[in-house]
Amino acid sequence: MAECKTRIGIMGGTFDPIHIGHLVTAEAVRIEFGLDKVLFIPAANPPHKQHAQVTPAIHRYIMTVMATYSNPSFFVSPIELERPGPSYTIDTVRALIDQYGEKSDFYFITGADAIADLPTWKDIDELLGLCHFVAATRPGCISMIDAVIRRFGAKGRQRIHRLSTPELEISSTDIRERVKLGRSIKYIVPESVEQYILKEGLYRS
């Protein structure tokens, strides 16, 4: 009888703050790919944002827990926060394989912008052997994602998937800017996250 592997989604991000674009995407991939769970993994020290000012990890972690709490398939992992140095996905995936064993298949969930940079990720060839990638996309980005898939040949075709998701023009950058300007972020982030941002005075300056 064929062995049934647990399917685990990995939603990595800075989550500064987490917003409904992240949540809608993770849920769409969970359903489409039959994932048993999705791990949200806030990055401690994102390699691609080394020079940017990032909110202390504890705030980003708490907001991620608040945002995902009501979905029984969503979990938050502090794995990258507990590890010193830059948060490379290859290290995270190796650690998750140690934790969950070989009986799990991993699906790393990204937006279209992140997939464009995939060729520059640390140990990307090995990483593609260890996990699948799902690029949430909209019609305008399909050719760019297909170019990335072609770049990796057969491994790209087997391991990189794309999924059309609702177009939500939301970014954490825009949310931080809105808070700074005193504009509403209602419905762009879950209510608990909105309350937390206001209570803690995040993103005001």
Contact 193, 22 (CB under 8 A): no
C-alpha torsion angle, residues 91, 145, 31, 185 (rounded to 10): 80
**C-alpha span between 131 and 133 (Å, rounded):** 7
Residues 157-176 that bind ligand ATP (CB under 6 A): 168, 170-173
Nearer Cβ to ligand ATP, position 3 or 53?
53
- Site for ligand ATP contains 77 (CB under 6 A): no
Instruction: Centre a 10 Å sphere on the Cβ of residue 111 and count the other Cβ atoms it contains.
Output: 19
Closest contact distance (angstroms) between CB of 3 and ligand ATP is 30
Least separation, in Å, of the C-beta of 172 and ligand ATP? 3
- For residues 25 to 64, the per-residue mask of contacts with ligand ATP, x marking binding by CB under 6 A and - elsewhere, is x---------------------------------------
Start-to-end CA distance of the chain, whole Å, equals 59
What does the per-residue mask of binding to ligand ATP show for 105-124, with x meaning CB under 6 A? -----xx-xx----------
Binding site for ligand ATP (CB under 6 A): 13-16, 21-22, 25, 110-111, 113-114, 136, 168, 170-173
